[in-house]
Amino acid sequence: MNILAFAASTSSTSINKALASYAAQQLAQRVAEPQVTLLDLNQFNLPLFSEDVEKEIGQAQDAANFLQQIAQADVLIISFAEHNGSYTAAYKNLFDWASRINPQVFQNTPAIYLATSPGPGGAQNVLAQAVASAGYFGADVKASLSIPNFYDNFDLATGQLSQADLAEQVVKLVETLL
Ligand SMILES: Cc1cc2nc3c(=O)[nH]c(=O)nc-3n(C[C@H](O)[C@H](O)[C@H](O)COP(=O)(O)O)c2cc1C
């Protein structure tokens, strides 16, 4: 199974990247021949989207590369960082460029959506937006989960969720992809 996981963040210390990686490991332990690809959105260099720039440069190669990564995946694990109640600008920019090449950005790939933040809200706002709009973009979201108070619930030294009940919820989440 080709598992593509990424955080919708470009932070080098992204807590959503840690969470996406953890969930990908949980899934990998439960499938035959897992191939985990952990994408870093910093690898996609794109100008700020505008229709004017699009007229100048046409389709952006790195957005095509992002779509190609999704095309090669059997399943997707995305963990959304929340900035001011919504997507990070970097993710939204990549998403906008990609949607101009293929509006079905997620190409009907089975997916789970996660989100986390340091606070009690657990990035629920952005997660709700991502889930609510999924159908418009070819996202086959099997389940979603927000993890609140990241630093209280996740052990960065081991890369594991430290709360048993949350760890169980992540297992149930990844099992929807089996
Ligand atoms: C500009 C900005 C806006 C933020 N807005 C929110 C927010 O609306 N809700 C929230 O829970 N956290 C918010 N945060 C805190 C982020 O959840 C926190 O920085 C988190 O580490 C981002 O995820 P990441 O580490 O995966 O990038 C914000 C952070 C920044 C820098």
Query: Distance between CA 89 and CA 176 in Å, rounded?
Result: 29
| pLDDT tens-place string over residues 19-59 | 999 999 999 999 999 999 999 999 999 999 999 999 999 99
- Ligand 1 atom nearest the C-alpha of 17 is 26
| pLDDT tens for each residue of 61-114 | 999 999 999 999 999 999 999 999 999 999 999 999 999 999 999 999 999 999
pLDDT digits (tens, 9 = 90+) for 142-162: 999 999 999 999 999 999 999
CB 20 within 8 A of CB 77: yes
Q: Is 114 in the pocket of ligand 1 (CB under 6 A)?
A: no
Distance 144 CA to ligand 1 centre (A): 19
Distance CA(176)–CA(178), nearest Å, equals 6
121 within ligand 1 shell (Cβ under 6 A): yes
At residue 78, the pLDDT reads: 99
Q: What's the 58 CA to ligand 1 centre distance in angstroms?
A: 32
The maximal CA–CA distance of the chain, rounded, in angstroms, is: 52
Q: Residue whose CA is closest, atom 3 of ligand 1?
A: 83
Residue 135 confidence (pLDDT)? 96
The domain total for the chain is 1
At residue 172 the predicted structure's pLDDT band, cuts being 50, 70 and 90, is very high
Enter the pTM of the model: 0.98
79 in ligand 1 pocket by Cβ < 6 Å? no
CATH number reported for the structural domain that contains residue 39 in this entry: 3.40.50.360
> What residues make up the domain containing 61?
2-176
Alpha-carbon distance of 97 to 47, in angstroms, equals 9
